[in-house]
Amino acid sequence: MDEMRLTADRVEIEALCAELTDAILMRDFERVAEQFTPDAVVSWPHINREFVGREQIRAGIAWGQGLWEFFVQHTHSGVVRLDGDAATGRAWIQEFGRLRDGSSHLNYALYHDRYRRTRDGWRFAERVYEVRYLDDTPLPGTAHNMPTTAA
């Protein structure tokens, strides 16, 4: 594979990660589902949840976001290893927010990803979430203008 194609693939995969984060934070759950292959799997072992297929992923992300009064996620570039029309990688995550039950949450985590090239571009085939650090100290701030539904 030529260097230009490798570079383009890496940029497209990073854009995929950014698109997913934006869709989650804007609570656009249909757009969330579009970022996955039809048979994709999302696993959150720390809460014993797994979602298979776009519809379960859409519903699972919507369920999870419904637990939060406010939620902010920052996705940081990780490593991507390309192998033709498939790739693996990691995306580093920092999240914080307050749940509707009043508890707070700050964590540093990563997603172990598998990506697949489709007719519509790169999509997630699998995401497995791994929490590396968790702080549940109450957050003193106030959320302003957080989206409640997709724009």
- Rounded mean pLDDT for each run of 10 residues along the chain, 151 residues in total: 90 97 97 98 97 98 95 94 97 96 96 98 98 95 73 52
- pLDDT of res. 130: 98
Task: Indicate the domain borders of the chain.
Answer: 3-135
Distances (CA, A) of 113 to 31, 64, 76, 146: 18, 19, 13, 28
- pLDDT of res. 86: 98
Provide the CB-side half-sphere exposure for 20 (13 A, CA): 26
Using alpha carbons, select from 117, 110, 72 the residue that is nearest to residue 89: 110
CA quadruple 74, 22, 80, 117: dihedral, nearest 10? 170
Spelled out in words, what is the top-level CATH class assigned to the domain 3-135? alpha beta
Q: What is the pTM of this model?
A: 0.92
- pLDDT of res. 62: 97
- pLDDT of res. 148: 65
